[in-house]
Structure 1
Amino acid sequence: MVKMQRNTVLVVLSFFAIYFIWGSTYLWNKIAVTELPAFMLAGIRFVTAGCLIFIISKALGFSLKITKKQFKNTIIAGFLFLTFGNGVVVWALKYVDSSFAALEVSAQPLVVLIMMRILHGKKIQPMSIIGVILGISGIFLLVGQKEIIAQDGAILGMVLIFICMLSWSYGSLFVGKADLPKNFFVNTGYQMLTSGLSLLIISTIFGEQWTSPTTWNTPVIWSMLLLIVFGSIVTFTAFNYLLRIVSPEKVATSTYVNPIIAMILGWYFLKENISMQSALASIVLLTGVYFINTKKSLTIFSRFSGKRIPKKAAD
């Protein structure tokens, strides 16, 4: 696979999107799923976003033509990320707080690193290991609170979210190597549309009761609009772009920042509790992001160890 040319401004904006906007989607999904069936909610969100992306792509003069192999790969990627990786998480939000869901998913960088080691034979850098250890330590501080685990259905929701996290992690590696549409915006559109249609089929199979948008309350309508425009079109496009520009484990560090954003928004809008232990865990998580996501940390380690870190290893 040939790497796309790096645009520093786009990379920074894309990381902002997957760090902060994606962290907000836990709140928006939590609000929407209180009234709407989970798979219907996710299906409508992605089908609408996919259609809008195709309309915008045509207006910008982008070609929507792709090969059969590329179409097959977009279906696989869409299933790993959205049909299963996101759709089941939305369903699990019926049983756990939005902050808890985001906190559990923050274990993803560890899984990505292990998968890269097992599947691709990539060496795990020492500073990345330290970052992951800090991240996991932060997770234990957060989920080790009795008031969180004691909620009804929390264990079921936790198991489902963990499985979804595995799917999302493997999808990150798959997208980095697969033959996909060269235009990452068009690529996002195909993933959104195919996964959205499959989610609507799943919704029908499960017998979910569909409702008209005219019957939704105002917070649900706003949540759906935000999920479609920012949570889907903007952020998922940024995510696909980053997977072609930087290494998957760096993209996965968004799952360290997302919980902090979700926790703050959940506290402010949904009155979810933030304890001193949660605040401490957030600091630990952010420190983990620093160690995994900065080249400077590798340079510091090389000075203390006396070893030269190749430039390629820091990319």
Structure 2
Amino acid sequence: MDKKNWLLLLLLSILWGGSYFFVAIALTGLPIFTIVFLRVFNGAALLVLFIFLTGRKLPGNGRTWLTLFIMGFFNNAIPFTMIVSGQQYVSSGFASILIAITPFLTVITAHLLTKDEKISSGKIVGIFLGILGVFILIGFESMQWGSKELLGSIFVLTATVSYSIASVWGKKFKSLNMDPVATAAGQLICSSLILLPLMLISDKPWQLPLPNIEVWGAIAGIALFSTAVAYIVYFQILRNSGATNVMLVTFLIPIIAVIMGVIFLSENFKIQYLYGMIMIGLGLVAIDGRLFQKIKGDNQVGS
């Protein structure tokens, strides 16, 4: 990648890493479903505005919208809700590190649900390292049934499972030949429709006290920066550098989220977070495979 795309990758990691910071603030004044609905609804509105300003078009047929509805369910509605639920009990930095195991689960899901993406030996090593990293991260003292840390971890891990299903399902969009920004807007529209009745029934927003300016700022930040702008930047990197390079953002998001949590939210950084992050990072390197291929290639050249 050139310097421009590395800067875009860093920007994307800040945008997505900042979502955990925004959620932590939003939770001080709003309930779960309201936070998630406001994120996807406002994010959808901003992307739709961007689509019309740039001359793009939203999808028009029912089959496409059904695919978008399923994608919105697994890629937005479930994981966003689970992450916000989990952050009631665990820190923003902890949640971001745990979400980094999504590629491991995607490998397993793809192996089980597709015929052309089977697990290789390198991916098996990566999955093992990732699982070990999760155990280190959570800590054995927190693995007592009923503990808040374990409950929060289960919520966040549920989000990673949902993301992995969405990653496999998302391959269907190749055959639809859709504009990627329109795809993102469509799934956010669908997830808004999914979450609206849940928010109205569960949270009764008309009965909620008016949040303070910090909470409204967090909602604006997560909708504008961590959703709408992040999707636009993501697809820009994807178009310029490919899916393999954009996956590198997985390494950077936890670092950004942990730094923001420590500096702005006064969160504690436990040494087990560092060890867990290192193990998960090594696992991601093993799954990616490019470093090992480069080393192998260098050895062959040297011999």
Task: Give unmatched runs, 5+ long, in structure 1.
Answer: 1-6, 307-315
- Structure 2 residue aligned with 1:110: 104
How far apart are 1:260 and its partner, in Å?
A: 2.7
CA distance in 2, matches of 1:104, 1:139: 7
Alignment of 1:38-49 (within 5 A): 38-49=32-43
Q: Which moved more, 1:281-290 or 1:32-41?
A: 281-290
- How far 1:239 sits from its partner (Å)? 4.5
Q: Deviations over 1:108-162 (max 9, x none)?
A: 1111111122222323344444444433333332211647979953322222222
CA contact 2:101–2:280 (8 Å) conserved in 1 = no
Match of 1:200 among 176, 192, 196: 196
Equivalence for 2:29: 35
Residue-by-residue CA offset, 1:78-109 (whole Å, 9 max, x unaligned): 11111112122212222222222222222211
Task: Check conservation: 1:106, 1:139, Cα contact below 8 A.
Answer: no
Label 1:263 to 1:208 Cα distance change in 2 as closer, same or farther (>3 A): farther
Which region of structure 1 is more displaced relative to structure 2, 193-202 or 131-140? 131-140
1:63 partner SS: coil
Structure 1 segment 1-315 matched on structure 2, within 5 A: 12=6, 15-121=9-115, 122-144=117-139, 146=141, 153-178=148-173, 179-180=175-176, 182-210=178-206, 215-239=210-234, 245-246=242-243, 254-293=249-288, 295-301=290-296
CA distance in 2, matches of 1:92, 1:99: 12
Residues 175 and 242 of structure 1, relative CA distance in 2, 3 Å threshold:
farther
Q: Does the CA contact (< 8 Å) of 1:74 and 1:190 recur in 2?
A: yes
Which deviations, in whole Å up to 9, do the C-alpha atoms of 1:190-229 show, x marking residues without a partner?
Answer: 111221232121111224434789x322221221121111
| Identity percentage of aligned residues | 25
1:172–1:243 Cα contact (<8 Å) kept? no
CA distance 1:255–1:148, shift in 2 (3 Å): farther
CA contact (8 A) 2:71 2:187 kept: yes
* Cα drift, residue 67 of structure 1: 2.1
- Consecutive unaligned residues in structure 2, runs of 5 or more: none
Q: Distance in 1 between matches of 2:111 and 2:93?
A: 29
**Structure 1 pair 282/162, CA: closer, same or farther in 2 (3 Å)?**
closer
- Flag the structure with higher helix content: 2
Structure 1 residue 169: Cα displacement: 0.6
Query: TM (normalized to structure 2)?
Result: 0.83
- Aligned Cα root-mean-square deviation (Å): 3.1
Structure 2 CA distance for aligned equivalents of residues 124 and 98 of structure 1: 31
Q: Is the 8 A contact 2:142 2:150 kept in 1?
A: no
Structure 1: which amino acid aligns with 2:192?
G
Number of residue pairs matched by the alignment: 296
CA-CA distance at 1:19 after TM superposition: 3.1
Q: Does the CA-based 8 Å contact 1:134-1:284 persist in structure 2?
A: yes
**Mapped partners of 1:175, 1:241: distance in 2:** 17
Cα distance, 1:11 vs structure 2: 5.9
Cα separation, partners in 2 of 1:101 and 1:289, compared to 1, 3 Å: same
